[in-house]
Each structure stands twice: as C-alpha cells, then as structure tokens.
Amino acid sequence: MENPKKPSSFQVELPASEATRFELRVDSEHKATEFRLFSFAAPHMRAFHLSWFSFFCCFVSTFAAPPLLPVIRDSLGLTTTDIGNAGIASVSGAVFARLAMGTACDLVGPRLASASLILLTTPAVYSAAIIDSASSYLLARFFTGFSIASFVSTQFWMSSMFSPPKVGLANGLAGGWGNLGGGATQLIMPLVYDLIRHTGTTSFTAWRVAFFIPGVIQTLSAIAVLALGQDMPDGNYRTLEKAGNKPKDSFHMVFYNGVTNYRGWILALTYGYCFGVELTMDNIIAEYFYDRFGVNLQTAGIIAASFGLANIGSRPGGGWLSDRMSERFGMRGRLWSLWVVQSLGGVLCIILGRMDTLTASIAVMVFFSFFVQAACGLTFGVVPFVSRRSLGLISGMTGGGGNVGAVITQLIFFKGSKYSKETGITLMGIMILCCTLPIMLIYFPQWGGMFCGPKPNATEEVYYAAEWNENEKEKGYHSASLKFAENSVSERGKRGDSSPTVPADVPTHINLPTV
Amino acid sequence: MLNFPGSAALPAPQEIKHEAPKVKRKGILPPIPHLAAKKTKGMGGLVSFSATCLFLLLSSFAGSAVGSVLFSTLPKTLIVSASPKQGQVLRAGEDKMAVSWALNQSFPVGTDEAYKKVKVRLCYAPVSQADRGWRKTDDDLSKDKTCQFDVAVQAYTTTTWTSFEYELSRELPTATYFVRAYALDYDGRVVAYGQTTDDQKATNLLEVMGISGRSLSLDIAAGCFSVLSVGSLVFFFVAAKRKKTNK
C-alpha cells in the first residue's frame, strides 16, 4: 500500500511495464503527458471528448431560446422587459452553481457531479413544450442556465486527467469547444425550426418541438458520461477513496484560503467582462441583427452564430498566447497580454454599437469576438497560479464572476426599453474598459505585476507554502504545493533567476525527488 | 428562405448593393513610388475596403431620403369597417371577420384616380406596442412595423363598398388590433389610407386570442423525456451502490 504522505512526482515518466496499461504516455500519477485530439482512448481522451461535448450541449440548451425569440416573443406575449429579465435569469443561476460545482467535484468526482447537474436540468429544456407565459419562460431559462456550471467540472476533470505540460491545452480546448455551443445554437435552432415548419406545423407549435432536439442530445450526452467516463486515470472516486489513495483536504481551510486571496476576486471581476460579455452577446445578438437590419431569422442566426463559433480557435488561442508571453516575460507577460487583449475587446465593442450598416457590424463583431474570447483563454492562463491549494475554488470564483458580469451587464443595459440595443452595446464596451483596469492591481511577490517588478527575495515556495499553516506543513500536506512551486519558476520569464531555491521549511522526513 | 410570419408582406428595407467600387490609380491620386508591387496589392485591398465602407455608410443615408413614403403625408380618404363589435374576442385560426372598405364620399371626385390596388392589413394597437420595439410605429412606411399581417390585397373598384371575409391566421399572436387599408397607385406606392379606428388608435379595437401551440402529444413527450433523464440518473446511482455492496 502506498504511503499517503509520499509526495507525488508530477513529471517522472513510468517504467514501460506500468505505462502499457494506458494507450497514451502517462506520468507517475497516470495523468496523460500527451494529447491526441482524434483519439477516443480510455480514460484520458475519452474523458476529454465526453466532457467538452456534454458542456457543449449545456450551452446549446441554455442559449436555444434567443435565436427563436422573434417567434417565442409573439407566442408567449413577451415584452422587451420580459425578454431582458429572462436573459438575466439564464445566466444568474450558474453564479452559485459554479461555486458549488467545485465543491461537488471534490466530494463526488467530476463524472457524477457533471452528469447529475446535466440530467437534473434537462427537464427545464423539455418544459418548452408546456410554458405559456412570461414568468414560466423565465423559470425555464433560469433552471436551464444552471447546466453551464459544468464548466467547472470540465476544467477539474481535465486537470485530473492531464499532466501540467498538457493541462493548459486540455482546459482551453474543453472550455472553448464547450462555449462553441453558444454559437452553434444560433445556427442549429433556426434550422431545426425551419425543418419542422416545412412539415406544415404552425409557428407557435414548431418552436416548442424544436427544443426537444437540444434536450434529447443533452440527456444522451450525460448518460454517456455516466456510462463511459471515469473520474481519474485509475478509477472512480469511490474506489480510490476506499483504497486510501486519495487524501481529503479540509473544506473550511480550502474555502478560507481561496476567498482571502484578492487576486481571485480581481480575476472574477475581469472575467465578468470578457466571458460575461460573451454570454450577454449570446443572448442579444440574434435579436439585434433581426430587428436593426431587417434580416430574416436564419440569417440573424448565422450572423449571431459566427460570434460564438469563433471560440473554436480564439479561446485556445488566448491560452496559447498567455503561454508564449510567459516564456519570454513570465507572469508579467501574462498579465500585460490579458489587459491589452481585453481592452482592445472593449474598444471594438464601443465601435460595434456605432456601426450603422450590416456589413460593417458583422466585420466589427467578428474581430470583437476574437478579442473577447481570447481574453477568456488568457484569464485561465493566470488562474492556475493564483492558488495551488484552492485551485478548484478560485476557478469556480472566476467562472462564477463571469456569470455575475453577464447578469449585471444585462440588468443595466439590456433590460427594458431605456437604452436602444446599439447604445447598450457601446456602453457595455466602456464598462469593459473600466472593469479591465483592476488587472493592474494584481501583484505576485515572486514575479511582479504589470507595473512593479518582483520583490528581491520572494520565492514561489514561500508564496505557495503560505497557503498551509504550521500544523499542516509538519504533516507534509503542502508537499504537492512545493512541487508545483518548483515547476512554476518558469513564470519568472527568460530574464528571471532560473535556479530554484531549496525550500528551508520542509520537515526532513519528506524526500523530495531531485529534478 | 425562412420568414417570420407576416413579414413577407412588409415593404422590404432598402437593399444596399455590396459591390466594391474599383479604385483607379491614375487621375486624381498621385502614384506613391515607394510602394512595391506586393504592397500595392495589400494597400489596394485596404483602400477598396475603406471605400466600400464609406460607400455603404453614405448610401445608408441616401436610402432613407429617396423613395419612401411618410405616413403623416397620406390623406385618410378610405373608410374601413370590420365586423367584430367592441369587446368581442376573436380566436386565431377559428373565427372569421368581414372587412369592408370604400372611398369617403366627402372627398372631391377624382381623388381616387390614381388608386389601383387596396392592401388591407391587421395592425397592432398602441397597448400591444408598449415595451415591444419590434412593433414600433415609424412615420417612414418602409421602417414602420405597426401593420404586420395581410388581410387582403385586391384591385381598387369605384363601387361603394368592397367586402372581404378574413379567416384569422393561426400565426396571429394574442394582442389588440385595428384594421387599416392602404391605397396603392400604379407604381405600387402608397398614396392614401383608411382605418377602423380614430387617429389616436383608441376606439373600435379588436381583441384576438392567439393559439397556444401546445398539444397533448407534446406534453406527454416532455413528461416522458424528463422521467427518462432523472430516471437514468437514479438508475446509475442504484447500480453503483449495488456494485459497492457486492464487492
């Protein structure tokens, strides 16, 4: 039986005999060290495909209503205020759900947590068949919106399955391809609606039937997660905990450590103005093009889709850019690139609201989508370094902050008839610029911030070890954090001091593997 | 092509042609010697793109001034009446109503010389337009969204009354309406109108109850699939527990 206090070495490769159990190359934790996109090999690549596809389905369902709003608003007698309220409701449910998902993944594992959430929210999608008023429409969108909390479980699952050299790519692809759903749905729903209309169904029935398509696929994807997925390379949580292979951390300590880290709060705010803006656009863009430029339902859907579909490359691209900047300039490069890209997104948003013609609007929107989604990827280039102990909670806070941004933005600018949609979009751009400024306040003692260099004697070990108290350090609980600290020295960039310092406060009975 | 119900009959917004005007290098602009042939291609692309944008921007202003009719300039020369009484609620897809129109005889003879066709439409009353920007009234008829449903399009006759029996479309949403008739000339331009209500659109309005779109089969399907979703979750939990106790 393995000694539970022995630190796990993340990057040591296994002897050939043990490694042949898996199709991909793995490290000593059995996390994959390679990423093969077109493979469906169990458990790693299978987990990737199951998680991004089920998350994709959740996005399709959550944003299935907006492209069909021109029909739904007359069918249910909705006013602009009703539509705005429902849009806010669709993204507000996930604010707390994302926080809870982090805890749920810790307790029961990402497979059960995500499948439970998805299967329990699918009835809200089917309820499209029976809703008949503004309030029931709002409730349906509210409960359906809970499902996009599965973002946290995708990031958690990928971090459990993939080794640090590949975890960024896996996270970025899983997150980005899931967000694709927000764009794909703008194409899928009008198409499905059109097909149903061709059978002779009247419009007020056709939209109800259309919702069954995303609903059924969502149910099937969650069943696939349950049947084919597993939490960790070696098995599911229940089996691993029984064998004593997986230690449990204290929820209170993890929570306290996470919420007292100011960087998590700043990133939650700024993520609200890249991802939150993306969610807002998913809600308003089809109606905007339909009403302002008089295009038909399908065309409005295609244009709106191109916004969300950019996620296929833009979000992973943001993550890639963050890694490239870090190679040369370290964490300061990550922070600067995040600020620059997100601010440019804000500028483009201001311009989008001022565009008066269809072609110009589409062109600006495409550029805007690239920048705002790349900013999402860049944000999650910084998040893994904020905390090692409370990574799940910080990810959940940031993710939840994204939804809060969507709620606030829709409340202020897109509810009721106070601002025309184009004015709302311009004002949203100004708000992006303002809420991106706090990135300047993020400072890591060992790496610096946007305007200040690192403190001369600060080390990564001190930063990450500080998350544990003396008791825990004596028991050696923080050893995984120390290993992470060693690996994170790369965040000093090319000009930084490259020799890792020997940690002075590790008890002698713990043996750290030599690099 | 998918059309929102009723929108096919709306006058189409001014179509803007998407041709990039060719940028000629001889003439007004002096040649720029330091630009290599490769750069010129890129520059040419950039210049034609910005020229297109400018062209589109300008034509968007031009379009609104030329060729569109303002409602406030139209004379109210037709009298229109509809059969439903005040307070009567009609059901979409089931009920019928009779609509009739005629020239108001108090106007001088010859007023209707230009009238060729009469287009009768069902229009939203102000109470159904409130907080609904997609039904907004605009004086420019090409942008006006008040009247979205066709009742009848018929040739104009000089007889006293023309009647039409209209079966309420199943696409009609629940709302309050009035009926308006536009008189079109030989070019298809609107030259006059008449409506069942007064100028403030407050009297003699119709109530229509739209269909819900629900049906029993849909309700049953929703119920079945919901049970399938939650049921499969329960099934997996039970199966996992069984495995644990069997081990």
pLDDT in tens, A60-70: 999 999 999 99
Window 184-203 of A, Cβ < 8 Å to B: 190, 193-194, 197, 202-203
Residue B89 lies in a domain: yes
Beta-strand pair B147-155/B190-195: unpaired
A490 touches chain B (CB under 8 A): no
The DSSP-derived string for A260-309 is T-HHHHHHHHHHHTTHHHHHHHHHHHHHHHHHHH---HHHHHHHHHHHHH
At residue A242, the pLDDT reads 61
Does residue B207 contact residue B88 with C-beta atoms inside 8 Å?
yes
In chain B, which stretches have pLDDT less than 70? 1-67, 244, 246-247
B233 touches chain A (CB under 8 A): yes
At residue B67, the pLDDT reads 60
A216 touches chain B (CB under 8 A): yes
Q: Please tell me the distance in Å from B12's CA to the nearest CA on chain A.
A: 8
More confident residue, B134 or A19: B134
The DSSP-derived string for A118-161 is HHHHHHHHHGGGT--SHHHHHHHHHHHHGGGGHHHHHHHHHHHH
Contact A75 B244 (CB under 8 A): no
Beta-strand pair B206-209/B175-184: antiparallel
**Mean pLDDT, to the nearest integer, of A435-445?**
95
For chain B, the domain total comes to 1
Contact B222 A71 (CB under 8 A): no
Contact A75 B173 (CB under 8 A): yes
B105 touches chain A (CB under 8 A): no
At residue A163, the pLDDT reads 72
Rounded CA separation B244/B234 (Å): 15
At residue B85, the pLDDT reads 82
pLDDT in tens, A269-309: 999 999 999 989 988 888 899 888 888 888 888 888 888 88
DSSP class of A29? T
| Spatial CA neighbour of B151 closest among B166, B171, B140 | B166
At residue A213, the pLDDT reads 95
At residue A343, the pLDDT reads 96
Of B60, B173, B229, the CB nearest to A122: B229
At residue B247, the pLDDT reads 55
Does residue A153 contact residue A350 with C-beta atoms inside 8 Å?
no
Contacting residues of A for B3, CB less than 8 Å apart: 296-297
If you average pLDDT over each of A120-124, A468-472, B161-165, which comes out highest? Answer: A120-124
Residue B90 lies in a domain: yes
Within 10 A of B52 (CB to CB), how many other CB atoms are there?
Answer: 17
Q: To 5 degrees, how large is the angle CA A453–CA A458–CA A464?
A: 115
Q: How confident is the model at residue A96 (pLDDT cuts 50, 70, 90)?
A: confident
**Mean pLDDT, to the nearest integer, of A431-454?**
94
Largest Cα separation within chain B, whole Å, is 100
Residue B41 lies in a domain: no
**Mean pLDDT, to the nearest integer, of A1-17?**
42
Contact A123 B4 (CB under 8 A): no
At residue A244, the pLDDT reads 54
Q: Please tell me the distance in Å from B99's CA to the nearest CA on chain A.
A: 24
At residue A9, the pLDDT reads 37
At residue A236, the pLDDT reads 78
Does residue A194 contact residue A210 with C-beta atoms inside 8 Å?
no
Could you give the percent of chain A with pLDDT greater than 70?
A: 88
Contacting residues of B for A197, CB less than 8 Å apart: 2
Q: How confident is the model at residue A189 (pLDDT cuts 50, 70, 90)?
A: very high
Inform me whether the pLDDT recorded for A125 exceeds 80: yes
Per the prediction, chain A carries an average pLDDT of: 84
Window 148-207 of B, Cβ < 8 Å to A: 170-171, 173-175
Residue B243 lies in a domain: no
Inform me whether the pLDDT recorded for A349 exceeds 50: yes
Residue B144 lies in a domain: yes
Best residue in B131, B149, B230, B234 for a mutation probing chain A (most A CBs within 10 Å): B131
At residue A499, the pLDDT reads 44
CATH of the domain at B185: 2.60.40.2470
Inform me whether the pLDDT recorded for A29 exceeds 90: no
pTM (2 d.p.):
0.77
| Spatial CA neighbour of A513 closest among A479, A467, A488 | A479
| Spatial CA neighbour of A426 closest among A307, A344, A346, A342 | A346
In this structure, chain B runs to a length of 247
Does residue A197 contact residue A191 with C-beta atoms inside 8 Å?
no
Could you give the percent of chain A with pLDDT greater than 90?
A: 45
Q: How confident is the model at residue A514 (pLDDT cuts 50, 70, 90)?
A: very low
At residue A46, the pLDDT reads 92
Reading the block at residue A326, the tokens are 């870090």
Within 10 A of B187 (CB to CB), how many other CB atoms are there?
Answer: 8
**Mean pLDDT, to the nearest integer, of A421-438?**
94
Residue labelled with tokens 């699939």: B225
Within 10 A of A363 (CB to CB), how many other CB atoms are there?
Answer: 15
Single-letter amino acid, residue A345: G
Question: Model ipTM?
Answer: 0.76
Residue B95 lies in a domain: yes
Contacting residues of A for B175, CB less than 8 Å apart: 77
What spatial distance separates the first Cα and last Cα of chain B, rounded to whole Å?
A: 60
Within 10 A of B43 (CB to CB), how many other CB atoms are there?
Answer: 13
Residue B13 lies in a domain: no
At residue A249, the pLDDT reads 67
**Mean pLDDT, to the nearest integer, of A160-182?**
81
Rounded CA separation A120/B144 (Å): 44
Residue B83 lies in a domain: yes
Contacting residues of A for B232, CB less than 8 Å apart: 119, 219, 222-223, 226
Rounded CA separation B69/B182 (Å): 12
B222 touches chain A (CB under 8 A): yes
Rounded CA separation A100/A98 (Å): 5
User: Structural domain of residue B179, as residue ranges?
Assistant: 72-209
B17 touches chain A (CB under 8 A): no
- Whether cis (ω within 30° of 0) applies to the bond prior to A43 is yes
Contact A119 B233 (CB under 8 A): yes
Q: Please tell me the distance in Å from A218's CA to the nearest CA on chain B.
A: 9
Q: How confident is the model at residue A11 (pLDDT cuts 50, 70, 90)?
A: very low
Beta-strand pair B78-82/B96-103: antiparallel
